[in-house]
């Protein structure tokens, strides 16, 4: 920003103009150059100090007050507070800069508040929608049983099983919402330990083996350029991430296809890739894939029982480890989710 004239410069300029005017008037009434020179010199000195003091009092002090008020409003640390007692070399420019910075900060804050308001509105709508479906389903099954179907052996167990699945879905959604709330509030703590990621993959494959068999999907674990798959992370949380990614790969991959978990070396990190050979995801969806409740195909997701929170939770967990997670996909080829972990 261009610097404005200092009070001293303004006072000097004003006193020179004043002196020229006085000298001109004296020359009209007197031809004594000595008198004109002395009077002009005295006028220059006196007017300079008068202008300077007036500027200091009426401008500098008033602007300093504004400047200090701005800083008192903004100051958050000792460095800011220390500036309050320092004189300003160029008060007009300094205050202009502060006001502009304050306006920009407020504009940014207003935009953030609008984004938060929009997020809260969407979040409440999504939560209501997610809870409404299983609640109404369970309500319908229970009332049907109470209205007489409980005595009908052909339907009572069938309805009870459906009601139980609805309750399970409700419990899962509430647990996921609780997890996201903990992540955002910073109330959760990571339990960092050293473990073999290869053993974790084997455990996860065993847990979801029946699901993979039902879809006739082959589960594969490979290592590229690694002697050891030892990592430093929260075992329970990373297990949650891996289960989510592998289960999604099975659900949305090709039936009779395969899901591969690959580990490779990246300097001080291990890169984990979870790949499927399904239909893939359109490019326009990739940037929002980790958003809460976001679904590429909402109808199919509801049939599969997903809440749209799993990938968001996975992202929170990985980023809490100060690592990264992303996705690559190509239509007709498949999708690959990648995340990094620190080597042990």
Give percent above pLDDT 70 in the chain. Answer: 76
pTM of the entire predicted model: 0.58
Give 20-63 as a DSSP string.
HHHHHHHHHH---HHHHHHHHHHHHHHHHHHHHHHHIIIIIHHH
Q: Tokens at residue 284, please?
A: 């326009």
Give 240-275 as a DSSP string.
HHHHHHHHHHHHHS-TT-EEEEEEEEETTEEEEEEE
The reply to whether 196 and 339 lie within a common domain is yes
Residue 34 falls inside a structural domain:
yes
DSSP H/E element including 138: helix 91-146
The reply to whether 137 and 248 lie within a common domain is no
Instruction: Show which of 185, 206, 224 is a domain's final residue.
Output: 185
Range of the domain at 47: 7-89
CB burial class (10 A; 0-12, 13-18, 19+) of residue 318? buried
Residue 100 falls inside a structural domain:
no
Predicted confidence at residue 151, as pLDDT, reads 82
Instruction: Show which of 185, 201, 222 is a domain's final residue.
Output: 185
Average pLDDT score, the chain: 79
Residue 98 falls inside a structural domain:
no
Give the 3-state secondary structure of residue 227. coil
The reply to whether 136 and 67 lie within a common domain is no
Residue 111 falls inside a structural domain:
no
Nearest to 183 by CA among 316, 61, 52: 316
Does the pLDDT at position 85 exceed 70?
A: no
Q: What pLDDT, in 10s, does the model give residues 177-235?
A: 777 777 766 667 889 999 999 999 999 999 999 999 999 999 999 998 888 889 999 99
The reply to whether 198 and 339 lie within a common domain is yes
Does the pLDDT at position 63 exceed 70?
A: no
Q: What pLDDT, in 10s, does the model give residues 101-150?
A: 767 777 777 887 777 677 667 667 666 766 777 788 888 888 888 888 88
Does the pLDDT at position 94 exceed 70?
A: no
Residue 55 falls inside a structural domain:
yes
Does the pLDDT at position 300 exceed 50?
A: no
Instruction: Show which of 185, 209, 237 is a domain's final residue.
Output: 185
Give residues with Cβ within 8 angstroms of 268, minimum separation 6: 342, 343
The reply to whether 170 and 84 lie within a common domain is no
Does the pLDDT at position 295 exceed 50?
A: yes
Cα dihedral 302, 305, 311, 317 sign: positive
Number of domains comprising the chain: 3
Q: Tokens at residue 304, please?
A: 């599969």
Model confidence at 2, pLDDT cuts 50, 70, 90, reads low
Residue 1 falls inside a structural domain:
no
Nearest to 323 by CA among 269, 243, 267: 269
The reply to whether 221 and 177 lie within a common domain is no
Does the pLDDT at position 86 exceed 60?
A: no
The reply to whether 307 and 197 lie within a common domain is yes
Task: Give 218's strand partners.
Answer: 258
Say how far residue 213 (Cα) sits from the centre of its chain: 39
The reply to whether 300 and 232 lie within a common domain is yes
The reply to whether 43 and 69 lie within a common domain is yes
Residue 253 falls inside a structural domain:
yes
CATH number for the domain that contains residue 159: 1.10.287.130
The reply to whether 237 and 302 lie within a common domain is yes
Task: Give 234's strand partners.
Answer: 192
Nearest to 265 by CA among 224, 323, 231: 224
The reply to whether 160 and 75 lie within a common domain is no
φ and ψ of 259, to 5 deg? -125, 125
The reply to whether 143 and 160 lie within a common domain is yes
Predicted confidence at residue 216, as pLDDT, reads 92
């Amino acid at each position: 920003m261009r610097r404005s004239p200092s009070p001293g410069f303004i006072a000097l300029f004003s006193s020179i103009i004043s002196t020229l005017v006085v000298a001109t008037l004296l020359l009209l009434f007197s031809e004594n150059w000595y008198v004109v020179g002395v009077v002009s010199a005295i006028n220059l000195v006196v007017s300079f100090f008068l202008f300077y003091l007036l500027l200091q009092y009426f401008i500098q002090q008033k602007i300093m007050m504004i400047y200090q008020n701005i800083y008192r409003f903004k100051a958050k640390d000792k460095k800011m507070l220390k500036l309050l007692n320092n004189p300003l070399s160029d008060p007009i420019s300094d205050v202009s800069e502060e006001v502009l910075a304050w306006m920009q900060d407020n504009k940014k804050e207003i935009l953030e508040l609008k984004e938060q308001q929009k997020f809260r509105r969407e979040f409440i709508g999504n939560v209501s929608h997610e809870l409404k479906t299983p609640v109404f389903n369970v309500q319908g099954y229970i009332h049907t049983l109470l209205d007489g179907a409980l005595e009908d052996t052909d339907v009572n167990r069938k309805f009870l099983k459906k009601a139980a699945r609805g309750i399970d879905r409700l419990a899962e959604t509430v647990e996921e919402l609780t997890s996201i709330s903990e992540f955002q509030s910073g109330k959760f703590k990571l339990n960092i330990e050293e473990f073999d990621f290869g053993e974790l993959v084997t455990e996860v494959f065993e847990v979801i083996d029946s699901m993979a068999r039902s879809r006739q999907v082959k589960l594969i674990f490979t290592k590229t350029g690694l002697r050891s798959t030892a990592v430093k992370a929260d075992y329970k949380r990373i297990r949650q991430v891996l289960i989510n990614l592998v289960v999604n790969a099975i659900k949305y991959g090709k039936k009779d296809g395969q899901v591969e978990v690959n580990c490779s070396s990246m300097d001080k990190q291990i890169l984990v890739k979870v790949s499927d050979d399904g239909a893939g995801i359109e490019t326009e969806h990739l940037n929002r894939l980790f958003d809460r409740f976001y679904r590429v195909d909402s109808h199919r997701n509801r049939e599969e029982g997903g809440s749209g929170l799993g990938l968001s939770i996975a992202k929170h967990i990985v980023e809490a480890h100060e690592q990264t997670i992303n996705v690559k996909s190509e239509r007709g080829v498949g999708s690959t989710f990648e995340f990094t972990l620190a080597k042990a």
